Structure 1
Amino acid sequence: MRVDERIFKAYDIRGTYPDQLNEEIAYLIGGAIVNVIRGRLIAVGRDVRVSSPALERALIRGMTDAGADVVIMGVIPTDAMYFAVGKYEFDGGVMVTASHNPPEYNGFKISRAQAIPLSGDEGLPEIKRIVMSGKFRAAKTPGTVHSKEILEDYINHCLSFINIDELLPFKIAIDATNGVAGIVLERLLQYLPFKVIKLFFEPDGRFPNHLPDPMDEKNREALRQAVLKNKCDFGVIFDGDADRMFMVDEHGEFIGGDMIVAMVARKMLSIEPGATIVHNLICSKVVDEIIEKYGGKAVRSRVGHAFLKPLMRQHNAIFGGEHSGHYFFRDHWYADSGMIAFLVATDVLSQEEKKPSELIAEMDHYFRSGEINTRVSDRWRTIECVAKKVEELTGQKADRLDGITFDFGEWWFNIRPSNTEPLLRLNVEATSKELMEEKRDWILGIIEECK
């Protein structure tokens, strides 16, 4: 059997079904996971994709043949898997999902005990080696399989982050993307005072209405229209496995993930004044300013949960966030949760008694380029060339926490390499639209000279 090694990504295993990822490969992955994390009791959940049940069965067969006892969670959000691993003290957990990818994709998100994720730096290379060899170490006595219902415990856990009695009766449009979010929301919303306009709550792994990627503007169009048509206070959209959440304001305008990080940071700092909050370096300066304003300590991280989560543990940070819509909570085993972030954001809006656009306008005085990708032949050679040219032209040294970052006060930029493609990713932020566009074009010109 031939295995396409490209399925092993920076943070998970992912590929198209059935050509890159099929039942035979899932069986090998199951056994390899048990060999690597050396866990006896492992939880397994899945998303709503058409291929997920078959891949889950093969994965579990590999796990039990390697000696693990498997607890099946059924169809759950990825953040519910993290909850289960932490709450019930499992030795590890696997979520069968391809998150925001199109329906032909599937994959596996894997964590150790305490919901600590495996990544390309730790754990996944060992699994890859075993899978590529075509054989894992089988146990003399196979493991067992049991089922466990966790959604009620998970919902109560999510609700513990807010005071329900303080919520205002908002009118909200919610797009569940035909993913797993709808399953949870049908049960969660009965505890909340909101009037909800429901979009695509029916689980359908073909994602017939739009792809489950909220970062793509066209996938938010139905939500925007629903907010405007129904005169909603705001709108909310989840990705396919519901670990990410984004919002639109009362005008249907997109609220970036870093603005939600800033909103949630306010709430968490009211709970624990002086606490540490970790954010990736692509987040707007707004995040640092809000953390400072409300008495917290900000810690910058490289992009990616494999880097952010260990920093949170190191600093005992109460909260962490990324511009990409991942929000991490210390009391959620340092894992990300779109559902908890949704609840906390509604709590903030209730306390402030302001429209989302008003709250964002108070915080945000910057203009951003968005992430701009440039294809290059040699990522690091190009980055070093850009760094040298900018250092020579400005007299300032590059910050090399993740790629290169230059901060000139009124504007800053970061260039970092893609983990999987020959691309450089550029982000620029400035105090005016004109300055942002001028500097964006200047840096893009230097990239063109260097690539």
Structure 2
Amino acid sequence: IFLTQLQVFALLCLYLLEVRGERGPIVKTITTTSMLYRLGEIFNVPVYETPVGFKYIAPLMLAEKALIGGEESGGYGFRGHVAERDGILACLYFLDLMIKTGKTPSELLDYLYRKVGPHYYQRVDVQFPEDERQTIIDRLRNNPPESIEGVKVVKTDTADGFRFILADNTWLLIRFSGTEPVLRVYAESDSQARVERLLEFGKELAGV
């Protein structure tokens, strides 16, 4: 089985909270999974959210003595170690999770989903003419959806792009990349088919 970086993030949090019995805040960027909020509720730890980039995650990790911080690119940092992406330690922790639980990655994912429910995620990158940037921003700002597929949009977040959070915790995010000339469209929901429909809706909403 292939695990996405968001599934790995949630499993690393589960490892630290349940297997190791540690407690402390979780720091995530807006592009990472809402599974972390559910884990925060289960284990009674706060979850903080930042714009995209470890330059936002690391200072908050240090200020809040966070247990773990991570982003959608697959970078994770840990309390008591370097407040930066630490791939070696992340791999060691994941191996220890497998050893301590006796579970394979697919079994671990099933175990996680039994706790937080199924979560599916995908991102698409769309190239666009640079002179259309402001037009896209204006289009998204002036035409926010009140509902998507019949589910009410309960929150619109513009801290880093345009994120629409639905009543069932599904979310759709449209933002410009900070590193290359592409528009990124992200979605997370309870089925892969729905994620794919959300991505198409997001592209249509942005007009790309």
- Tell me the TM-score normalized by structure 1: 0.41
- The structure 1 segments of at least 4 consecutive aligned residues displaced by more than 6 Å after TM superposition are none
What is the 5 A alignment of 1:371-450? 371-377=124-130, 378-391=132-145, 396-410=154-168, 411-448=170-207
Q: Residue 308 of structure 1 corresponds to which residue in structure 2?
A: 57
Q: Residue 120 of structure 2 corresponds to which residue in structure 1?
A: 367
Task: Indicate how the Cα distance of structure 1 residues 359 and 272 shifts in structure 2: closer, same or farther if over 3 A, else same.
Answer: closer
State the aligned residue count.
Answer: 197
Shift of 1:371: 3.4
What is the 5 A alignment of 1:284-323? 284-323=33-72
What is the 5 A alignment of 1:183-198? none
Give % identity. 25
User: 2:143 aligns to what SS in structure 1?
Assistant: helix
Which stretch of the first structure deviates more once superposed, 263-272 or 315-324?
263-272
Counterparts of 1:408 and 1:425 in 2: how far apart (Å)? 19
Counterparts of 2:86 and 2:45 in 1: how far apart (Å)? 21
Task: Indicate how the Cα distance of structure 1 residues 322 and 420 shifts in structure 2: closer, same or farther if over 3 A, else same.
Answer: closer
Task: Indicate how the Cα distance of structure 1 residues 265 and 400 shifts in structure 2: closer, same or farther if over 3 A, else same.
Answer: same
Amino acid at match of 1:371: V
Shift of 1:380: 4.7
Task: Indicate how the Cα distance of structure 1 residues 327 and 380 shifts in structure 2: closer, same or farther if over 3 A, else same.
Answer: farther
What are the ranges of 5 or more consecutive residues in structure 2 without an aligned counterpart? Answer: none
Counterparts of 2:90 and 2:78 in 1: how far apart (Å)? 9
Aligned residues of 1:269 and 1:296 also touching (Cα < 8 A): no
Q: Does 1:261 align with 2:20?
A: no
What is the 5 A alignment of 1:182-331? 253-270=1-18, 271=20, 273-331=22-80
Task: Give 1 or 2 for the bigger CA radius of gyration.
Answer: 1
Shift of 1:381: 4.0
Select the structure with the greater relative contact order (CA < 8 A; seq sep ≥ 6): 2
Shift of 1:427: 0.3
Aligned residues of 2:123 and 2:184 also touching (Cα < 8 A): no
Aligned residues of 1:387 and 1:398 also touching (Cα < 8 A): no
Superposition RMSD on alpha carbons, in Å?
Answer: 2.2
